[in-house]
A and B are shown apart, each in its own frame.
Chain A
Amino acid sequence: MKAEKQILRFAQDDKHPGILSAAWTIARKDLAIEFRTRTAFLSAMVFALLGVTIFYFAWDPTAVSAIDLAPGVLWVIFTFSAILGLQRSFGVEQADHAMDALLAAPIERESIYLGKAIANLLFVIGVEAVTLPSVALFYNLPLGDSIGALAGVALLAAVGIVAVGTLFSSMAVNTRLAELLLPMLSLPFFMPIVMSSAQISARLLSGRPVSEAWPWLRVLLAFDMVFVVACTFVFPYTVEE
């Protein structure tokens, strides 16, 4: 209830909250909903685990070794289960026209975007925290030293996925295609993320020097920077009256 009260207080007070504090309030509201219902997280988690196991049987294990397979599986599963969470991000605001209340609140539109993005980021990180160990377990990966670097790459990838996905989620819910449109719009945008993350993790897992992964890491960093800024700027255009 704390988050809801905070929003009410924003509406009653005359002074506007800062962009970030308003964003954090919205993120807390979304996370509170998710924490109480757990529907999206549980379904994303089960989806990810199912994906990991099904992928194993899509290849001939005697022809392709698990370590060659794992990076691809990891990143395809990450992106697809992230989409499951992103679908719901603006979907929950559809009921009872909750979105109108958010738009009427005396906060910047950018706060709504950032708040949604923060909640989605934590959601995706949660899914990654389950998928990464399960891929390591099922595919017998020697995580060892590379676990820290791999988690860092996963975080960078999550930022990019969430930045683009949150924006498209806000658009997709207002179309006739709704949840069908989100993957169609966002998957081409995830392509550079999947490609660079898979390349980096393949090198990390096979024990190659980190310097070999550096060009791909730069792509990932540049993608995050460009799209976090761009999506924050264009989001207000998607929620105009």
Chain B
Amino acid sequence: MTKDDLSERGFDWLLTAGFAAVAALYVRAIWFTPIEAMQGPAQKILYVHATSAFVALYLAFGLMAVASVLYLWLRDPKLDRVAESSAEVGLAFTSVVLTTGPLWGKPIWGAFWAWDARLTATLFLWFLIAGYLLMRGAIEDRHTRARYSAVLGIMTTLLVPFIHLTVYMFRTMHPMPIVLKPSAMSMSTEMQLTFVPGFFAFILLFAGLLRFRYRMATLRDEVLDMEQAR
């Protein structure tokens, strides 16, 4: 079977590569990376948590913001589909961040949730994107949906700095548990050899999921076009 045959049958090379890379990251993180002396095995969640956070917070939502602004300017339906797809994939990655974070927090902080500034800001971002997708689902007309989504995408982008600022200001009023944070942790070379390629694995998975979701949106719009043309 040639490559083209497989593609026609709906085989997605990019998505498969993404899942394979993440699977390899798991194998490497679980069996071939040393256990951290202070935190024990719980630290290994970092390889999934920090990488998902990077993909969700910077790639997915950055892409959504840029696509929203560009949509209002260029009015290209492709841009709306990019915004839609990256929001949905971003929500999935943010959910991973919000699940793995508390799992690590329980043994290390002693509580699943600590109202730490980063946690709170991520949670609010999750709410914002969930609201964005709920709104998308509640509008029939494609053009209205695209315009409203772009407006909401821009508003969300403007809000994020305010949320960041206020949750950080709020936190300074409360003493925080003295905790090793991933950012403050220095890593052994072996850990770095898992951590850094981990980012590439998750970026690959993000690209695969994004392209998959984007194609689905394109097909959906094509079907709608055909239905309307009848």
Smallest CB separation, A178 vs chain B (Å): 8
Residue B134, interface by CB 8 Å: yes
Contact B134 A184 (CB under 8 A): yes
- Which chain B residues in 46-93 approach chain A with CB under 8 Å? 72
Partner of A176, one of B140, B155, B158, B159: B140
Contact among A174, A184, A215 for B139, CB-based, below 8 A? A174
Shortest Cβ gap from A96 to chain B (Å): 21
Contacting chain A: which of B23-31, B145-153, B188-196, B205-213? B145-153
Please tell me if the beta carbons of B139 and A176 are within 8 angstroms of each other in the complex. yes
Q: Does A51 interact with chain B (Cβ within 8 Å)?
A: no
- Report yes or no: A223 in contact with B162, Cβ–Cβ below 8 A: yes
Of the candidates B72, B139, B158, the one whose C-beta lies within 8 Å of that of A175 is B139
Contact B155 A174 (CB under 8 A): no
Instruction: State the Cβ distance, A208 to closest chain B Cβ, in Å.
Output: 12
A135: chain B residues at CB < 8 Å are none
In the complex, what residue of chain A is closest to B127 when comparing beta carbons?
A188
| Cα-based distance from A240 to B173 in the complex (angstroms) | 45
B70 to chain A, nearest CB (A): 13
Binds A, one of B9-17, B94-102, B164-172: B164-172
Residue A79 interfacial (CB < 8 Å): no
**Residues B163 and A191 in contact, CB atoms below 8 Å apart:** yes
CB distance from B134 to the nearest CB of A (A): 6
Measured CB to CB, the nearest residue on chain B to A198 is B170
With beta carbons under 8 angstroms apart, the residue of A176, A185, A189, A219 that contacts B165 is: A219
A130 at the interface (CB under 8 A from B): no
Closest to B124 in A: A188
Query: Is the pair B144, A234 in contact by a Cβ cutoff of 8 Å?
Result: no
A216 interface contact, C-beta 8 A: yes
CA of A199 to CA of B152 in the docked complex: distance in angstroms? 28
Give every chain A residue within 8 A of B72 (Cβ-Cβ). Answer: 234, 237
A33 at the interface (CB under 8 A from B): no
**Cα distance A188–B135 in the bound complex, in angstroms:** 14
Query: Is B154 interfacial (CB 8 A cutoff)?
Result: yes
Contacting pair A188 B138 (CB below 8 A): no
The yes or no answer to A195 lying at the interface (CB within 8 A) is yes
Contact B166 A177 (CB under 8 A): no
Q: Is B40 an interface residue (CB 8 A)?
A: no
Residues of B110-160 contacting chain A, CB below 8 A:
124, 127-128, 131, 134-135, 138-140, 144, 147-148, 150-152, 154-155, 158-159
A residues sitting closer than 8 Å to B (CB atoms) are 164, 167, 171, 174-177, 181, 184-185, 187-189, 191-192, 195-196, 199, 215-216, 219, 222-223, 226-227, 230-231, 234, 237-238, 240
30 contacts between A and B (CB under 8 A): A167-B155, A171-B135, A174-B139, A175-B138, A175-B148, A176-B138, A176-B139, A177-B135, A177-B138, A181-B131, A184-B134, A185-B152, A188-B159, A189-B155, A191-B163, A192-B162, A192-B163, A195-B166, A215-B169, A219-B162, A219-B165, A219-B169, A223-B162, A227-B158, A230-B154, A230-B158, A234-B151, A234-B155, A237-B150, A237-B151
